[in-house]
Amino acid sequence: MLFKIAWRNIWRNKRRSLITLASVAFALFFAIVMRSMQLGTYDKAYSSVINATTGFMQWQAKGYWDKQTLERSFIPDSLERKKMLSDPGLKALLPRLESFALLASDQSETKPGFLKGIDAEMESQYFNLNEKLLRGTLPQKGEQGVCLASKLAESLKLDVGDTLIIVGQGYHGISANGKYPVLGVADLKNPVANKSTVYLDLGELQYLTGAYDRVSAEVLVPKDPEDLEALQSRLISDIDTSSTTLLTWRQMLPELIEAMEADSAGGLAILFILYLVIGFGVFGTILMLTAERKPEFGILLSIGMNRGRLALSTFLETTFLNLLGIITGSLLALPIALYYHYNPIELSGDMDAMMEDYGMEPLLPFSIDPDIWFTHGGIVLCISVLVSLYAIVSIYRLNPVKAMRR
């Protein structure tokens, strides 16, 4: 019975109810859309950086990340490696050797490049590197050849079947020069990596640079990426910390984390303002509702209606109205988020340049994580419940005789 009364009371003043409903719906719509864009962009940035550059965690020689040279590469201890792989939270260790060199072809000027020696099979298994191939193949174990990042291939005017010339300096200053057939071209989904990366087989790059058995880092593949810190604290006891260290991607890229946190703080400030708008909007509705209906409340109380039932009826009325606004706002935001999740916004100009500086694609994909809808819908519902307490307090403090005289 109370539910029916509450529902009917919503539509006694349709105009006011619709204005309140619309204000809640559109404020929630903007909150969800904005947060969906923010979190989608963060997820894209993190996955882009992790997949194309650092991985989740690296085992390195101490000081390597501060000065990334072949002189600071190391030979992984086999016993330490075995200990780490025995940890139930670790899937695999992927060896990588990295070096800088000058790159050229018969049809272009010399350009700087980033040589990356990998185990193609493992990189494909754990980081889906083979799925990034536009054409051709990755250099397999023992194979002489290279796979070029797409933008680098364009700038060098090279394609599958052409020859890449590498001129560089190897371990302890030895000459590291060679000619390699281009086996494949890949889109790494990372602007910085796409302009510079050359993949070689790990053994081939070790031979080219004279860094036999050495690696720049071993990339750790965790079973649960959310459990990195706990995994790091367990594995650190398995290695010689006087010469090597374990770094998570967050420790390697603090600037990216700081930029994302600053952006997130700005977004939360805007959300706070939106929630204030919702709160004042709902409070205004309740204020008018209680003021207009004081005589009615006075009559109901004077004929014996229980204050608790009257307060509950009023509470249900405002809650139903806000729930309608929450459902409407959530449904309006859903198709927008879905569309831009599968069709990200392409950035240009200064924003494009800023994203590339952080090694991210200039795209703004939206997140469709259900938690966004539940979290912000829940916050709005809590605000409406708190504001509705005013009506309940007013009813309990109401003097029926004075109310009926109005």
**Cα atoms in the Cβ-side hemisphere of radius 13 Å centred on 280:** 5
Query: How many other CB atoms sit within 10 Å of the CB of residue 251?
Result: 17
Fill in the DSSP letter of residue 51: I
H helix runs in 343-369, sequence order: 349-357
**Cα atoms in the Cβ-side hemisphere of radius 13 Å centred on 250:** 10
Fill in the DSSP letter of residue 239: S
The pairing of strands 197-201 and 108-118 is: parallel
Closest CA to 107 of 177, 154, 168: 154
Give the position of tokens 């670790």: 90
Q: Is the pTM of this model over 0.85?
A: no
Strands of 142-287, DSSP E: 146-149, 163-169, 175-186, 197-201, 217-222, 244-248
Two structure tokens written together for 295: 């005589």
Helix 370-397 × helix 14-49 angle, to 10°: 150
Closest CA to 228 of 256, 245, 250: 250
| SS3 at position 362 | coil
Q: Which residues of 97-114 are buried (b: 16+ CB within 10 A; e: fewer)?
A: bbbebebbbeeeeeeebb
For residue 380, the one-letter residue type is V
H or E stretch covering 61:
strand 57-61
The pairing of strands 146-149 and 175-186 is: parallel
Closest CA to 2 of 294, 383, 306, 395: 306
Closest CA to 240 of 95, 66, 84, 68: 84
Rounded Cα–Cα distance for residues 11 and 380 (Å): 21
Rounded Cα–Cα distance for residues 97 and 116 (Å): 6
Tens-level pLDDT at each residue, the chain (406 residues): 555 665 666 666 677 777 778 888 888 898 899 899 888 888 887 777 777 788 899 999 999 998 999 999 999 999 999 999 999 999 999 999 999 999 998 887 889 999 999 999 999 999 999 999 999 999 999 999 999 999 999 999 999 999 999 999 999 989 999 999 999 999 988 888 898 999 999 999 999 999 999 999 999 999 998 888 999 999 998 898 899 999 999 898 888 788 788 888 888 888 888 888 878 877 777 777 677 666 666 676 677 667 777 777 777 777 788 888 899 999 999 999 999 999 888 777 666 666 666 666 777 889 999 999 999 999 888 888 888 787 777 767 666 666 566 5
What pLDDT does 29 receive? 92
What pLDDT does 179 receive? 95
Residue 359 region by backbone torsions, left for phi larger than 0, else alpha for psi between -120 and 50, else beta: left
CB 346 within 8 A of CB 362: yes
Residue 57, beta-bridge partner list: 220, 248
Two structure tokens written together for 123: 């990189």
